[in-house]
Amino acid sequence: MRGATPAAPDGGDTPLFRLLGPVRFGPPAGPVDRPGPPHRQAVLSVLLLRRRRPVTVAGLAAAVWGDDAPASAAGNLRTHLWALRTLLEPGRACRQPARILVADERGYALHTPPESVDAWRFEERAEAARRARARGDAAAEHALLAEALGQWSGEALAGVPGPFAEEERIRLTALRTSARKRHIVCALRLGLHHTVIPELSALTREFPLDEELRALLMRALHGCGRQAEAFTVFADTHRTLREELGVAPCPELTALHARLLADDPPPFDLHRPSPLARAHGRTALPDAAERVLARAKSVLIGGQDRGAVPVLVITGPGRAGKTALAARVADGVAHRFPDGRVSADLRTWDPVPAGPGPVLAHLLRALAVPASRIPADPDERAALYRSALAGRRVLVVLHDARDAAQVTPLLPGGPGSAVLLTTRSRVLAPALPAAASIELAARPRPYAEDPPPGERAGAPDTDAPYAGAPDTDAPYAGAPDTDAPYAGAPDTDAHDLGNLPPSLVPAARRLARSGAGPSSVEALAAVLGTGRADAALIAEALVDAGVLDTPAAGTYRLPARP
């Protein structure tokens, strides 16, 4: 009967399929070969990676040709399907029901056991390795990842055309890169430093901007007693990042370099949660911190359990503790996002945020998408970004967001991943669908201490000097350096001014003396006697210092005083 589902064939005579390299298939104990021309390979790949879920003829046409499907697509597909049936069951009589490639009213499906497809075996063993990591069994994780990576024989779906194959190629390649990193981490934890240096050297050549890989190579070289080579890797990384991106190495890599210079490598405990309170400086209030952290975790994990994309927005003025809280939340939920964490700093010095293109390129590189595959068009980058996240569980951390237009292109397109945002804007969370928010008060901060350098959840240290800001050793142009008290201005306590860099004090006094309400950058430039660009820099620095608020993009005001 056409609508009945045949019994799945046993594994004894089922062909084996290879997708993690050139597409091949063949009997368990015999030679493997290509199943036919590229479009036939594309049809086979779609059916295999849909994992027994039926696909209609229209769905196959969209997967194989996309918007460029020819008028003869349906006929071509039926020819490819007939040829695949013949290849998969060569001894089947003409009237005998098919057992492997079956059709019913829902479409076509391949009834193959999971162990017959190398891509399925890879993902199953990678998931088993994740469970071993959750148990703390590094040796088991290392062995399972070695078995998972052993399924690969080249580029996934090599030479297979069509949008479906391209999306799956990106997804599988990203999973492979993540598994390779985890396998290397396990080897280093097990003391097998010498075994991973060749692979790490090749990976850093393939992904020259991946700072995590550079850090692993530095650890491996140092662990083998090759300290000079480890420091050369850092110097090369510093030069490459400066030349390619105009940035310095991330705080984590810089901190690792300092520890290795002191011959004191840090323990291998990725994403270890930091204590909520410290014995120095301004301490946290443990009860309040615990409540806030518990709510934050429940938002991110609860939404994930419901099959949604949870979005948590941490809102507060400059220096309220948003970054520190985000770092602790990210650490606390890391186990629920086994495919890792990617982050971006969205701060721009211009009052109008930059477009999403550069940020998407950064996130795609963090997701192990090769630079050669990142398109120039921002919309195409956004589509590729959503495809790279599909089927993965990644925590996306975005710092210093300004508005919904800046954030929306960076949200995952489907369930599995989650987003953690920090912002000064109180109107951002209501503008994002189904976003939850936590609002932090101004100083003294009740929730978390300032993070030490390198502890930010994947972003630069906010206490570091701002790149591109005016020289803080010289007063701002046009801002008189005067110690006169404010005249007719809201009261600003001396403690606030004492925390400012000396060059910001004159600007703060002049703005307070003006008593202006919400002001544009142009209005601030007139008050400060500077150009528009310098005024934007000064305003952002004063927001970070808690002297100004920014209720909307490009608007600044003095905060209300009790």
State the amino acid at position 165 in one-letter form: A
Q: Which of 57, 91, 116 is the last residue of a domain?
A: 116
CATH number at residue 525: 1.10.10.10
pLDDT of residue 299: 86
Q: What are the tens digits of pLDDT across the range 235-274?
A: 999 898 888 777 788 878 888 888 888 888 877 644 333 3
DSSP designation for 341: E
Q: Which two tokens stand for residue 384?
A: 């590729």
DSSP H helices in 24-104: 38-49, 57-65, 73-88
Question: What mean pLDDT is predicted for residues 61-82?
Answer: 92
Residue 554 lies in a domain: yes
Residues 112 and 18: beta-carbon distance below 8 Å: no
Category of 559 on φ-ψ map: left (φ > 0), alpha (ψ -120 to 50) or beta = beta
Stretch among 220-234, 248-262, 312-326 having the lowest mean pLDDT: 312-326
Q: Which two tokens stand for residue 325?
A: 């809280």
Pair (239, 333) in one structural domain: no
298 or 443, higher pLDDT: 298
What are the beta bridge partners of residue 312? Answer: 420, 436
Query: Three-state DSSP class for 269?
Result: coil
User: Is pLDDT at 28 greater than 80 in this prediction?
Assistant: no
57: number of Cβ within 10 Å: 16
Stretch among 32-41, 218-227, 522-531 having the lowest mean pLDDT: 522-531
Pair (84, 208) in one structural domain: no
User: Is pLDDT at 180 greater than 70 in this prediction?
Assistant: yes
Residues 113 and 123: beta-carbon distance below 8 Å: no
Stretch among 316-325, 336-345, 425-434, 468-477 having the lowest mean pLDDT: 468-477
Where does residue 407 rank: exposed (0-12), middle (13-18), buried (19+ CB within 10 A)? buried
User: Is pLDDT at 449 greater than 60 in this prediction?
Assistant: no
Q: Which of 116, 133, 167 is the last residue of a domain?
A: 116
Residue 367 lies in a domain: yes
pLDDT of residue 214: 93
Pair (394, 328) in one structural domain: yes
Own/partner contacts of 525-530, CB < 8 Å, gap of 24 or more, are 528/476, 528/478, 528/479, 529/477, 529/478, 529/479, 530/476, 530/477, 530/478, 530/479
Residues 403 and 428: beta-carbon distance below 8 Å: yes
pLDDT of residue 288: 56
Pair (336, 295) in one structural domain: yes
198 or 499, higher pLDDT: 198
Question: What mean pLDDT is predicted for residues 458-475?
Answer: 33
Residue 45 lies in a domain: yes
pLDDT band at 91, cuts 50/70/90?
Answer: confident
pLDDT of residue 446: 35
**Pairing, β 24-26 against β 16-18:** antiparallel
pLDDT band at 282, cuts 50/70/90?
Answer: very low
pLDDT of residue 233: 95
DSSP-derived secondary structure for 193-230: HHHHHHHHHHHHHHSTT-HHHHHHHHHHHHHTT-HHHH
The 3-state secondary structure of 148-165 reads HHCCCCCCCCECCCCHHH
| Distance between start and end Cα atoms, the chain | 79
pLDDT of residue 284: 38
Pair (97, 184) in one structural domain: no
H or E stretch including 345?
Answer: strand 341-345
DSSP designation for 274: P
Residue 408 lies in a domain: yes
Pair (302, 408) in one structural domain: yes
Contacts of 211 (CB under 8 A, 6+ apart): 237, 241, 249, 250, 252, 253
User: Is pLDDT at 485 greater than 80 in this prediction?
Assistant: no
User: Is pLDDT at 81 greater than 90 in this prediction?
Assistant: yes
H or E stretch including 436?
Answer: strand 436-439
What are the beta bridge partners of residue 344? Answer: 398
Residues 395 and 417: beta-carbon distance below 8 Å: yes
Residues 491 and 497: beta-carbon distance below 8 Å: no
CATH number at residue 295: 3.40.50.300
Where does residue 516 rank: exposed (0-12), middle (13-18), buried (19+ CB within 10 A)? middle
Proportion of the chain above pLDDT 90, given as a percent: 29
Backbone angles phi, psi at 396, to 5 degrees: -100, 120
221: number of Cβ within 10 Å: 23
Pair (481, 433) in one structural domain: no
Pair (74, 59) in one structural domain: yes
H or E stretch including 388?
Answer: helix 378-389
| Rounded distance between C-alpha atoms, residue 379 and residue 385, angstroms | 10
323 or 468, higher pLDDT: 323
The closest of 415, 313, 406, 412 to 355, measured between CA atoms, is 406
State the amino acid at position 240 in one-letter form: T
The closest of 32, 358, 340, 372 to 169, measured between CA atoms, is 372
**Pairing, β 549-552 against β 24-26:** unpaired
Pair (293, 435) in one structural domain: yes
The closest of 283, 379, 290, 299 to 333, measured between CA atoms, is 299
468 or 43, higher pLDDT: 43
The closest of 11, 247, 9, 8 to 115, measured between CA atoms, is 11
User: Is pLDDT at 303 greater than 70 in this prediction?
Assistant: no
Residues 411 and 311: beta-carbon distance below 8 Å: yes
User: Is pLDDT at 493 greater than 50 in this prediction?
Assistant: no
Pair (477, 393) in one structural domain: no
pLDDT of residue 452: 39
219: number of Cβ within 10 Å: 24
pLDDT of residue 325: 81
| Rounded distance between C-alpha atoms, residue 261 and residue 263, angstroms | 5
pLDDT band at 280, cuts 50/70/90?
Answer: very low
Residue 307 lies in a domain: yes
| Rounded distance between C-alpha atoms, residue 317 and residue 547, angstroms | 9
The closest of 420, 435, 418, 436 to 301, measured between CA atoms, is 418
Pair (219, 138) in one structural domain: yes
Question: What mean pLDDT is predicted for residues 453-475?
Answer: 35
pLDDT band at 370, cuts 50/70/90?
Answer: confident
Query: Three-state DSSP class for 438?
Result: strand
Q: Which two tokens stand for residue 520?
A: 């544009």
Q: Which of 82, 116, 150 is the last residue of a domain?
A: 116
Question: What mean pLDDT is predicted for residues 120-139?
Answer: 91
Pair (100, 51) in one structural domain: yes
Residue 449 lies in a domain: no
Q: What are the tens digits of pLDDT across the range 321-349?
A: 787 788 888 877 887 888 888 888 786 54
Domain count, the chain: 4
Residue 427 belongs to domain spanning: 286-439
Record the pTM.
Answer: 0.54
Residue 6 lies in a domain: no
Q: How many residues does the chain have?
A: 562
The closest of 242, 217, 244, 240 to 229, measured between CA atoms, is 217
What are the beta bridge partners of residue 315? Answer: 423, 439
Q: What's the Rg (C-alpha) of the chain?
A: 28
What are the beta bridge partners of residue 345? Answer: 399
CA 317, 318, 323, 325 torsion: positive or negative? negative
Strand runs labelled E in 393-432: 395-401, 418-423
134: number of Cβ within 10 Å: 11
pLDDT band at 43, cuts 50/70/90?
Answer: very high
Residue 279 lies in a domain: no
Average confidence score pLDDT of the chain: 77
